[in-house]
């Protein structure tokens, strides 16, 4: 009986490198694939020439084949242009979620299918378990490192063909194991930046790559929630909900960005209480398995360990209304909301608007 073939998405970092090593030790027939997502450069990001070279060195040390798959066109269309368009439309995007949906678990999955490979493996800190005839996506054991939030778009079929061997351990354990196995990237620092944004400077990236005539890049007024002009700004795209610093206005109490209006070129600010809301609407809803409504769940409105209790009401197949038990700080259109039943990921969608709680 032949060993099952696994393609490991190798970025050149310690997580994907250890993933490959662990699967070899578990008896899988492993190959490494590095995705080329843009023109190679010397920038410190997860898809530059040095990263690809590190992945190749790790593959050589593990004595496994290594390939580079060119997804530059797909990445530009589904991730880079999406990132730009969201900002220009007054929303704050999450490019990692798009990349996982369309590139890593989209284009790459199609690529390995053509090679006749059984499984795709990544270094994400999340778990996949088979229980009651279902493949379930669960939070990683280390909640501080848990990455299940960015994987909510996976389908049940994809879960059945995906391996996440790091989900049961912490980052410290990963580095210790990598050192024990003499992996050349055991102590390589993690990349914290958006891979296609040089120097993590998204403002300069937008100025250099977006349509400069867009309203979101034009100067305008900073106003309070009553419409009173308090100051000026250089573009609504450069402000995020909940932001306090960098407003450049004098006020007797701290003010925060509570919303923006791209059409009128306005950044709207308010006091601390005004950045809390209890209701949101989300679209592009994806459920890993069908749900019954109204649905009691826990939800994350951004990457991180914090969850909040809520009730989810279906508006149609692609839209839901979410009512939180307690007001949430800085609900941000463009970000994803992900729903959980304890540690099980149910699905998620993209936040499109928010509101205060409506009294019964």
* Residues identified as active-site: 99, 195
* Separation CA 341–CA 309 (nearest Å): 10
State the Cα torsion 279-125-129-64 to the nearest 10°: 140
Q: Which has the closest alpha carbon to 237: 198, 206, 213, 263?
A: 206
Mapped onto helix, strand or coil, the DSSP state of residue 35 is strand
Q: Is the Cβ–Cβ distance between 333 and 91 less than 8 Å? A: yes
Q: Which has the closest alpha carbon to 332: 87, 77, 76, 84?
A: 87
Phi, psi (deg, nearest 5) at residue 83? -55, -45
Where b means 16+ CB within 10 Å and e means fewer, 12-27 reads bbbbbbbbbbbbbeee
Q: Is the Cβ–Cβ distance between 283 and 352 less than 8 Å? A: yes
Q: Which has the closest alpha carbon to 158: 131, 137, 132, 144?
A: 137
* Separation CA 198–CA 352 (nearest Å): 28
For the chain, the residue count is: 360
Q: Which has the closest alpha carbon to 74: 51, 106, 34, 33?
A: 106
Angle (CA) 40 58 72, round 5°: 25
Q: Which has the closest alpha carbon to 124: 110, 141, 109?
A: 141
* Separation CA 121–CA 30 (nearest Å): 10
Query: What are the residues facing 61 on neighbouring strands?
Result: none
β-strands 295-300, 308-316: how paired?
A: antiparallel
């Amino acid at each position: 009986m032949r060993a099952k073939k696994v393609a490991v998405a190798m970025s050149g970092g310690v997580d994907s490198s250890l993933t490959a090593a662990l699967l070899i030790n578990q008896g899988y027939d492993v190959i490494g694939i590095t995705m080329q997502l843009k023109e190679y450069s010397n920038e410190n990001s997860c898809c530059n020439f040095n990263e690809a070279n590190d992945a190749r060195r790790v593959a050589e040390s593990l004595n496994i084949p290594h390939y580079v798959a060119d997804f530059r066109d797909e990445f530009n269309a589904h991730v880079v242009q999406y990132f730009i368009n969201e900002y220009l439309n007054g929303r704050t995007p999450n490019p990692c979620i798009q990349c996982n949906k369309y590139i890593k678990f989209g284009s790459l999955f199609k690529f390995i299918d053509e090679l006749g490979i059984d499984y795709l493996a990544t270094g994400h800190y999340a778990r996949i378990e088979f229980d009651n005839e279902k493949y379930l996506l669960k939070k990683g054991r280390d909640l501080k490192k848990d990455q299940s939030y960015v994987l909510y778009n996976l389908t049940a079929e994809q879960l059945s063909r995906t391996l996440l061997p790091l989900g049961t351990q912490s980052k410290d354990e990963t580095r210790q194991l990598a050192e024990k196995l003499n992996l050349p990237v055991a102590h390589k620092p993690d990349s914290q930046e958006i891979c296609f944004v040089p120097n993590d400077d998204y403002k300069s990236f937008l100025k250099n790559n977006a349509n400069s005539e867009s309203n979101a890049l034009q100067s305008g007024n900073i106003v309070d929630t009553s419409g009173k002009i308090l100051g000026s700004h250089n573009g609504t795209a450069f402000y995020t909900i909940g932001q306090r610093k960098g407003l450049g206005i004098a006020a007797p109490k701290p003010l925060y960005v509570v919303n923006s209006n791209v059409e009128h070129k306005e950044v709207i600010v308010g006091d601390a209480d005004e950045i809390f809301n209890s209701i949101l609407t989300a679209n592009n809803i994806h459920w890993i398995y069908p749900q019954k409504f109204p649905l009691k769940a826990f939800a994350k409105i951004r990457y991180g360990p914090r969850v909040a209790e809520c009730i989810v009401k279906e508006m149609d197949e692609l839209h839901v209304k979410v009512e939180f038990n307690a007001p949430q700080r800085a609900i941000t259109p463009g970000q994803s909301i992900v729903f959980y039943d304890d540690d099980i990921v149910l699905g998620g969608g993209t936040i499109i608007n928010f509101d205060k709680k409506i009294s019964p």
